[in-house]
Structure 1
Amino acid sequence: MVRVVVSTLPALRPLLRRGSLLNHKPLPRSRLQPWPFCTLSSSPAAGAPSAVVKGEEVALDKHLTRCAAAGIAPLRVAVLVSGGVDSSVALRLLHAAGHRCTAFYLKIWFQEDFRNFWSECPWDEDLKYAQAVCDKIDVPLEVVHLSDEYWNHVVSHMINEYRCGRTPNPDVLCNTRIKFGSFLEAIENLGFDYIASGHYAHVVHPSAENTEAPSVLQLSKDKIKDQTYFLSHLSQSQLRRLLFPLGCITKDEVRRLATQMALPNQGRKDSQGICFLGKVKFSEFVERHIGEKEGIILEAESGDYLGIHRGFWFYTIGQRQGLRLPGGPWYVVEKDVQNNVVFVSRNYYSLDKRRRTFRVGSLNWFDNFGPGNNEQLKCKVRHSPEFHDCTLVKERSEENGDALVVHLAEDDQGLAAGQFAAFYSENVCLGSGIILDSWDKMSFPVCSRALEIAKLADKSSLGKPIRIVNLEHIVKPEQQEEIKVA
């Protein structure tokens, strides 16, 4: 069993008792008042740091602690730990750099009596590892309960978005609203200079001579593990409070350090999937909180009735798995939210279905201006090392306010409304926005027959689904129209 951690910080005691944090409304950015900026260049470097563990010393190259603000006057740093290797190494690097650290474990898993329909408690093992890492260097660990906040600011938003046919990104929302939102607000008056975590990103703060300049979010040294995409919707007031010690090193170096430091979790695998689900399948979570509603699947080009589904919210644009249709492969290309109809196609990747243009709203820029009109940039439309060259055109409408029309230099078949698009200039992340729609003509070209069938109030008149056999490896293309059989 994990021992009960009693807080020494009075402001956090209500959270440890599971009191509500402030209120259940989404956290307004304006409530995050600027902290007095603590410059990172206040004193000269003091030589190479080392990590001391109960008498054992591990020498560290200077580049390993460069993003940990090594060699300056000690800072008070609140370090978010998860029990994983990344956050543990981040804590150890900050500690080796001479900073006064307090570790915080954010418990966002639903309580046993809190909308919980499964018995697994995945946070229990995580907390044990986090405690063991902190014990080795005598760093205090505080456990902060933010389950209510996570439900109200992240999970409920996800459910509402899926009901509307959009695909949100919970990791971006968690960083913006929980880790560096609700938690940052909770410790705002506790005297910490910075908040740190194990994200692979690099924040460059302004110098002592120019403290009014904005902080800059840069790509990490490890381009494969880079997580600037997940941090791209933070505000400038949030960004200037953050340190990411892993931004200057690679994942291989993190693993090597974990071994050299004899971390108890050095062999743990990286976590995968949505953070709050643990071992629960996403489809099970959606079924529990949204339910099922039978609908029909239609071929986009012909309107042919191919089968049934459990509800459009189980599917996202570009999805191939889980359709269970013969004659494929089939891809989800469009959804009729009002009539609960899913449109599919086998021509999702055909050259005549170019997907290079989409619109982005809810814009967030780290400076006050954002990119210029028709500016050439790079963008990411998902967490990936891949970038697209793109051009941005500004527009404004009553429905979406300020928005961007994004023109990609090459096709991307994975554009999904509700996801984030992050924009970059060289190695600097400028900010991001939410994808409003995809496809050049705002939708996949669904034929008029399919659209009319989707509107039918009584779909029982359609009879049995048509069974389409895929014989493209046997017959010629001009004969394939004849292979549809009942």
Structure 2
Amino acid sequence: MLRLRPISSPTLSRIPSVHLQSPALVKPFLQPRNPSGTRLRYFFLRALCVSSSSSSPVVPQISHSSKSFDSADIQPYLSCCIPNKRLRVAVLLSGGVDSSVALRLLHAAGHSCTAFYLKIWFQEDFENFWSECPWEEDLKYAKAVCNQVDVPLEVVHLTDEYWKNVVSYIIEEYRCGRTPNPDVLCNTRIKFGAFMDAISSMEFDYVASGHYANIVHSSEEQTDNPSVLELSKDMVKDQTYFLSHLSQAQLKRLIFPLGCIPKDEVRKLATNFDLPNKDRKDSQGICFLGKIKFSEFVARQIGEREGVILEAETGDFLGIHRGFWFYTIGQRQGLRLPGGPWYVVQKDVKNNVVFVSRNYFSFDKRRRTFRVGSLKWLSGLPPNQLCQLRCKVQLLVIAFDSCSPHDSLTFIYSLKKIKNKFRL
């Protein structure tokens, strides 16, 4: 386990590519001793980062006073916040609307909150891609939200951990022709993994975030019972899939204040709270890339190797591709083939061949059964009844060439909500 020690006299030069508003705002670092002198991985600082670029996005300056409304109006929204107790809660704050509303609800429930912004950008490695600090705007919004209710904000640098535990794994999976989900890995290994380890000595009762999911904890008298991850009230925004690999040790420490609230009401709450980011669009890109095209990132890490695109049914030659790792089973966008729509249905990793078909949804391809693997039982043990399970099929599509750098690169398409019970 990584042990963090306070350093009594922090040095500003140790902070890479960051300018601080005032040295007086700097909080003593908490970071591991590193005798080799290499870049230290963890540090917390209570300061607002500003870019040296003059083209920085403008974020409204919010005073410490904010619009308030009757507490009775908020009370119905606190059911997922463990009300009627005063807890110490570490809140993951991204600068977006969801996590900001979650923070305000926890604050309204009477909890003592500390906000944390996780910095995982590869700023030094991708300086040629960015004309300005890519996380600057998010952090400014997070700071403005915290200023409204005097909640302290800490910045946690987890770039090395993210690269080692998420990005490196994703790259190797792409080399093997598979398409892992970065959000599942990020939640398990970073947000509720490395981050929880980093604050383990700070004695928080719970960690909270703006995920659309619900956790039911056992009573204080039944602490040995498992915590249960349940679907959120908003089935369209539900994010339990991205939390499906969490362990019981992680679940028992989590609160998701938005699990009981539909998305449209979260937006209304943001307006009622007069949040500075109340009109911000939801972030849907891959979290560590921001405005960088995923295809550019993959090309830089794996390279390119020309291969052929064949029609799955006939074996006819249709075109050339840059490498099978740029394609995902089920992908439609970005193929640039005439006479479509075409869908990727198979990849020959050994021979670098991508097979496509126009008959992805044809009658003869319908399936009533499928095989699943690597099941994760959140309780730690399989349920008593395994003969019938209810499933939801989702497809992760990475759209490469068809998206601009400002568009979302990851799309989760819910193909269908399977209401029938499958016998596995």
Q: What TM-score do the two structures reach when normalised by structure 2?
A: 0.79
Matched, 1:381 2:394: yes
Q: CA deviation at 1:374?
A: 2.3
- The 5 Å alignment of 1:1-16 reads 3=21, 6-7=26-27, 11=30
Q: Is the 8 A contact 1:150 1:178 kept in 2?
A: yes
1:343 maps to 2:355: yes
95, 108, 130: which one aligns with 1:119 = 130
Q: Is the 8 A contact 1:102 1:140 kept in 2?
A: yes
CA contact 1:380–1:387 (8 Å) conserved in 2 = yes
Counterpart pick for 2:272 among 248, 260, 263: 260
Q: Which residue of 2 aligns with 1:187?
A: 199
> Aligned with 2:117: secondary structure?
strand
Pick aligned residue for 2:160 from 148, 173, 177: 148
Given the superposition, is the C-alpha separation of residues 384 and 217 from structure 1 closer, same or farther in structure 2, using an over 3 Å criterion?
A: farther
Q: Which has the higher strand share?
A: 1
> Are residues 1:251 and 2:263 paired?
yes
Residues 336-393 of structure 1: CA distance to partner in whole angstroms, max 9, x if unpaired? 0000001112222111112444333332111132244322323343456653244353
**In structure 2, distance between residues paired with 1:373 and 1:248:** 28
CA contact (8 A) 2:271 2:278 kept: yes
Residue deviations 1:316-349 (CA, integer Å, cap 9, x gap): 1122222222222222111100000011122221
Structure-1 separation of matches of 2:371 and 2:290: 33
| Secondary structure of the structure 2 residue equivalent to 1:283 | helix
Contact 1:67–1:247 (Cα < 8 Å) also in 2: yes
- For structure 2, the residue ranges without an aligned partner over 5 or more in a row are 1-18, 44-62, 396-411
Match of 1:298 among 283, 300, 310: 310
Q: How many Å apart are 1:13 and its aligned residue?
A: 8.0
Q: Residue type matched to 2:88 in 1? A: R
Matched with 1:162 is 174
Please say if residues 315 and 332 of structure 1, whose CA atoms lie closer than 8 Å, have aligned partners that are also in contact.
yes
Question: Offset at 1:96?
Answer: 1.1
Which AA in structure 2 matches 1:331?
Answer: Y
Contact 2:318–2:337 (CA under 8 A) maintained in structure 1: yes
* Cα root mean square deviation, aligned: 2.4
Say which of 81, 84, 104 aligns to 1:68.
81
Q: Structure 1 residues 229 and 339, CA, compared in 2 at 3 Å: closer, same or farther?
A: same
CA contact under 8 A between 2:247 and 2:380: conserved in structure 1? Answer: no
> Which residue of structure 2 lines up, in the alignment, with residue 420 of structure 1?
none
| Aligned equivalents of 1:337, 1:55: Cα separation in 2 | 56
Q: What is the rounded CA distance, in whole Å, between the counterparts of 1:362 and 1:334 in structure 2?
A: 21
Pick one of 297, 322, 328 that aligns with 1:316.
Answer: 328
Deviation string for 1:89-116 (max 9, x for gaps)?
111111111111110000011132x355
Distance 1:14 1:230 in 2: 34
Sort the Cα spacing of 1:279 and 1:204 in 2 relative to 1 into closer, same or farther, 3 A.
same
Partners of 1:271 and 1:14 in 2: CA distance:
35
Question: For the residues of structure 2 that align with 1:2 and 1:359, how far apart are their CA atoms?
Answer: 53
The one-letter code sitting in structure 1 at the alignment partner of 2:190 is I
State the TM-score, normalizing by the size of structure 1: 0.70
Residues 431-457 of structure 1 deviation map (CA, whole Å, 9 limit, x = unaligned): xxxxxxxxxxxxxxxxxxxxxxxxxxx
CA offsets 1:161-207 (integer angstroms, 9 cap, x no match): 11111111001110000000000111112110000001111111001
Return 5+ residue gaps in structure 1 as ranges: 23-51, 394-486
Alignment correspondent of 2:15: none
Q: 1:115 to 1:54 in 2, by over 3 A?
A: closer
Structure 2 residue matching 1:308: 3-state secondary structure: strand
1:352 aligned counterpart, secondary structure = helix
Kindly tell me: are residues 239 and 158 of structure 1, through their superposed partners in 2, closer, same or farther at Cα, counting changes over 3 Å?
same
2:422 to 373, 391, 401: 391
The structure with the largest alpha-carbon Rg is 1
Residue 218 of structure 2 corresponds to which residue in structure 1? 206
Partner of 1:269: 281
Q: Would the aligned equivalents of 2:67 and 2:272 in 1 still touch at CA under 8 Å?
A: no
